[in-house]
Structure 1
Amino acid sequence: MVRITVELIRKRSEHNEGEIGTLEEISLHQENIEKIELVDKACRNLKILLLQYNLISKIENLKMLKRLEYLNLALNNIEVIENLEGLESLKKLDLTINFIGDLQGVKKLRYNENLEQLILTGNPCTDYEGYRDYVVASLPQLRELDMTPIDRSERIKGLQRYAEVEGDVIRGYRRYAKIREKQIHRHEEREKLRITEINEDGLEKEDEEVENENFWKSTSYHTPEDRLAIAERTLKIEEKRKKAQIQKTDEPKRILKLFSPDGRAYNVNQAKVSFTLNDEDCRDNVILEVAIYKHLDTSYLEVDVQPRYVRVTIKGKVLQLTLPCEVLTQKSSVKRNVVTGHLVITMPRLNQLETIRKSSRIEKKVFPKVTVNATGPISKRELLEIGPPRDEMDFSKIVRKDGQKPSKQKSQEMTTPRNFVDNPEVPPLE
């Protein structure tokens, strides 16, 4: 587990430029500290000391801190209130969520005459009958208990009931002491069983992994022993992970080969970027276009043009290409597209091309015909018609009621509008 050292104190005193002699406030929380030490000797001017969320089981080595006003020991393994008489200036004491069962230790805080705030929330003693009246009556200097102010009537009531609630507190502690004995016995039995299994079978890597898995799946209890066991197991896993990382960093890295033994340049795309090398469309130049990331700063790019190859380094990653012909390095130019961010490298040829390839502008793509053979039954699509069809004939109008067919003249009269004017010059419709 972690111990309080000068290096740790100096690390946590960055706000005081690393000076620990004049330090007035320090936070040593979440460090898996098991014992309070060195603080009272190295930092005697402390006014605020934060030690919450550690594994401290005993309050000790604080008597030299005469100026200390606020002490936070929440979320630790403390079971007894003790060794705080020397803190003459103590105003606030936070012991939230510890394992304090003996509430009679509160009487030792009478010597801390400036103590105004006390927090015991989450401790077993807070479940005792008459707990609040007992604490209020025992500490007349208190103004606030468990974040709740103490008024005058409550203090008078606590003093009146002190003899009664003291008996309740003692009986409550006796019941808790029996529960605590069972917790310790259960933990000891479980540890004996685990050690026996290790001694009999031995521990290989696979067995250790199985043991860890069983540990995390097993039931844990809110006890100091279980909190300590969980912290130790977590630290082991963290140390193993750090060792694995160190081993990875110590492994020799793969050396990138850019040239063959005879001096010929390899084609390498370590940066894994898209590129286009055009050496046929221009008679005078070989053009390389590299698809650089649009928002990448140009300072991360480096271009090296040689007569037979070109190399582009992008944030330490190499793109190297052999050239189809020899180029003039001194006349080569590099530009970057402002819109796309692409890098365009123009390299003049040493010997000009006699002919260039004619690129066809229109390219027809011929797709192969695909025939599908239906192996199953073919379903026919049918439409559902609603209402009478449009081509339906009204057979009732073919014959009149008297049995004679309607004359053409009458049918024309029926279809001719009233305001119709016949034009003799228009030929009749046939």
Structure 2
Amino acid sequence: MTQFFNNIEPNVIDDEILQKAIEEKCPEDLGDIARKESINIKVVTEIQISFKNILQIANLWPLENLTKLQLDNNVIEKIEGLESLVHLVWLDLSFNNIEVIEGLDTLVKLQDLSLYSNRISTIEHMDTLQELQIFSIGNNNLTVLENVIYLRRLKSLQTLNLSGNPFCSEEHYRLFVVAHLPSLVYLDFKLVRKSTVRFLIKTLYFL
């Protein structure tokens, strides 16, 4: 799952990359203004830095009002540098080289998190994400099906994508997940039938 981009030298998010991302996200007329004079970075609420060969997340602390951050398709190895982005509700870190879930403790407003296609082997360090509704961690290195039980602590979780992980080939994988996470509405892009949940709770598992 390691991402490479034509052997280009890895980048850290610096002022130039950040300013360009802000200009691209602004409306066309506002973008022209941003090129002539620096826009007040505190008014920026959304930013996309994709396909930039970013290795390290850094220098995002001034974006204190950011609600949506897209850092997909880079070469990021560690979740870091997000502590000050306490208003984030949407975070996309898909298609990177992340191995450990960490650095999310202060993102208590997060509702949508994508870690799809990384190198993560354990679901952990998400206890503070009590507003999380959508979580994608498909196409990683999850091998222990019982690790899914960790997600029971996320009371708002309704949509979960685990597809493409090694444990998905286990017999009764879907039934196991639905039984232990009965509040799910969608699992791996498919609707979870409430009749199935009721049956599992009643006859298969003691929850």
The one of 82, 87, 99 aligned to 2:129: 87
SS of the residue 1:42 aligns to = coil
Correspondence for 1:101 = 143
CA contact (8 A) 1:3 1:33 kept: no
Counterpart residue identity of residue 121, structure 1: S
Provide the C-alpha distance between the structure 1 equivalents of 2:175 and 2:114, rounded to a whole number of angstroms. 24
| Bigger relative contact order, structure 1 or 2 (CA pairs below 8 A, ≥6 apart) | 2
Name the count of aligned residue pairs: 162
Q: 1:3 to 1:157 in 2, by over 3 A?
A: farther
CA contact (8 A) 1:12 1:27 kept: no
Aligned residues: percent identity? 31
Per-residue CA distance 1:227-272 (angstroms, 9 max, x = gap): xxxxxxxxxxxxxxxxxxxxxxxxxxxxxxxxxxxxxxxxxxxxxx
CA contact (8 A) 1:5 1:38 kept: no
TM-score, normalised to structure 2's length? Answer: 0.71
Correspondence for 1:38 = 81
SS of the residue 1:142 aligns to = coil
Residue 141 of structure 1 and its aligned partner are, at CA, apart by 1.8
- 1:23 equivalenced with 2:63 (yes/no): no
Q: 1:71 to 1:60 in 2, by over 3 A?
A: same
Computing the radius of gyration over CA atoms, which structure comes out larger, 1 or 2?
Answer: 1
SS of the residue 1:26 aligns to = strand
Q: 1:88 to 1:4 in 2, by over 3 A?
A: farther
- 1:122 equivalenced with 2:184 (yes/no): no
Matches within 5 A, 1:224-239: none
Q: 1:69 to 1:152 in 2, by over 3 A?
A: same
CA contact (8 A) 2:84 2:106 kept: no
Provide the C-alpha distance between the structure 1 equivalents of 2:103 and 2:125, rounded to a whole number of angstroms. 8
SS of the residue 1:93 aligns to = strand
Cα RMSD over matched residues?
A: 2.2
- 1:158 equivalenced with 2:200 (yes/no): yes
Gaps of at least 5 residues in structure 2 are 1-8, 27-38, 43-62
Gaps of at least 5 residues in structure 1 are 164-430
CA contact (8 A) 1:47 1:67 kept: yes
Per-residue CA distance 1:74-97 (angstroms, 9 max, x = gap): 110011111111111100001121
CA contact (8 A) 2:111 2:133 kept: yes
CA contact (8 A) 1:88 1:113 kept: yes
Counterpart residue identity of residue 81, structure 1: I
- Larger helix proportion of the pair: 1
The one of 134, 145, 148 aligned to 2:187: 145
TM-score, normalised to structure 1's length? Answer: 0.35
